[in-house]
Structure 1
């Protein structure tokens, strides 16, 4: 099965020479051994997830895409889409600042599942202009500059990914953060586009139980205590007892920790 062919921006954006960034420590154990647990109700949650994916594909034939962050949750969804041969495209944002371990998943997806991963890169001129004007470490200087970087590297490419789609799928879970605690499994955005969140009820144990059961490829950085992985300069490992997304934009206030991809703006939630 092949996903919708890519219309992505072919321009490659060079990785920047990030320096003095927090380094991941050596893996003490695999993420599977740490987190994979079969918990009560898993089979029901899995069935509900598959039903919602099928609904998305049925209601939006040829016009729905999984925005795959290459994190554990989105790899679960990729496996479900491929396993059940659902006509849902797979797209990812190649921001130009991702870790090598993250990028390594793209050819693994294509080889394992026979799917085409649509790649959406930022406009190179915009990245160059931003760095020249604000410096390579602008994201550490203020929330405004960090969000401006996200706009260039993530939001604008996402806009191109969704431009011709009437629906998209995400790997968001309510457990991930307080900001996502009331998230519905399906919502309608202000522009009328449907957004499906099939894993909202899943726990972190559920995610890894599925990965272990089906031998799903995953980002090696998860083995280095990085449960939530974004761009290299904005991601670090977390310590025992820290919140799930503590390693993302760790220098900012907890309430500011969104890049804008999933900020709800005048959208109407509907039940699936």
Structure 2
């Protein structure tokens, strides 16, 4: 697998993001997908895919706890591109059991409970969304958190057994904003209110000056536990 991954990495090394996504869409025809949570970065990649009519399936995880502003961006994106964004929901029985036993806010009580909630609302639906695919495109950027600086723009995802590609991995936030402004792309207004990273409403707050990029995610926990497992690197 490493040799195959190295070969692909070499092929796309000097390509612009749209060209690289297009190339991968040819290599993995019908088996390439992009996940969006409607943040800055994901809106950029969504535009690259939809505006260029690239054959990449776009999906989102509908956790049931999203911000109203996120739903607004979702609707506006559908209106602007007239292309489908596939929604994946948590398993109803598993969600009902968890909330019945522990209540609607159990994730505040322990890391174990929070990971359980993320597992039911995100990880399991993600597995369904990725099933049958060989390449997963994301909006990850290297500067978003410390553990992501050790990643590369093309990697093997052992957990999900597929290739992951991050087309704007080396972009700065300034480049992301410039692309959005230039192309008049709708974005989540929470970004203008101190929310650099936007997830579920109960688990996301604004970031204060000087705080880490992801300080607003699960802020009641230790910094070392700030990933939900969607992009686990080990």
TM-score, normalised on structure 2?
0.90
Alignment correspondent of 1:171: 139
Structure 2 residue 226 is the aligned partner of structure 1 residue 239: no
- RMSD over aligned Cα atoms: 1.5
Structure 2 gaps, min length 5: 1-12
Alignment correspondent of 2:167: 198
Alignment correspondent of 1:91: 59
Q: CA deviation at 1:128?
A: 1.4
User: Does the 8 Å contact 1:179/1:255 carry over to 2?
Assistant: no
Say which is worse superposed, 85-94 or 122-131, in terms of deviation.
Answer: 122-131
1:220 corresponds, among 189, 198, 201, to: 189
Cα distance in 1, alignment partners of residues 172 and 224 from structure 2? 22
Q: Taking CA–CA contacts closer than 8 Å with sequence separation of 6 or more, which of the two structures ends up with the larger relative contact order?
A: 1
Cα distance in 1, alignment partners of residues 212 and 14 from structure 2? 25
Residue-by-residue CA offset, 1:130-180 (whole Å, 9 max, x unaligned)? 111122221111111101000000001111101121111111111001010
Cα distance in 1, alignment partners of residues 103 and 173 from structure 2? 36
User: Does the 8 Å contact 1:183/1:200 carry over to 2?
Assistant: no
2:229 corresponds, among 260, 264, 267, to: 260
Cα distance in 1, alignment partners of residues 157 and 197 from structure 2? 24
Residue-by-residue CA offset, 1:16-41 (whole Å, 9 max, x unaligned)? xxxxxxxxxxxxxxxxxxxxxxxxxx
Cα distance in 2, alignment partners of residues 49 and 254 from structure 1? 31
Higher share in helix? 2
Cα distance in 1, alignment partners of residues 206 and 108 from structure 2? 17
What is the DSSP-based 3-state SS (H/G/I as helix, E as strand, rest coil) of the residue aligned with 1:259?
Answer: coil
| Structure 1 outlier segments of 4+, above 6 Å | none
The number of residues matched between the two structures is 221
Which aligned pairs between 1:1-272 and structure 2 lie closer than 5 A?
48-190=16-158, 192-265=161-234
Structure 1 gaps, min length 5: 1-44, 266-272
User: Does the 8 Å contact 1:52/1:196 carry over to 2?
Assistant: no
TM-score, normalised on structure 1?
0.78
Cα distance in 1, alignment partners of residues 61 and 205 from structure 2? 19
Cα distance in 2, alignment partners of residues 105 and 62 from structure 1? 26
What is the DSSP-based 3-state SS (H/G/I as helix, E as strand, rest coil) of the residue aligned with 1:183?
Answer: coil
Cα distance in 1, alignment partners of residues 215 and 42 from structure 2? 19
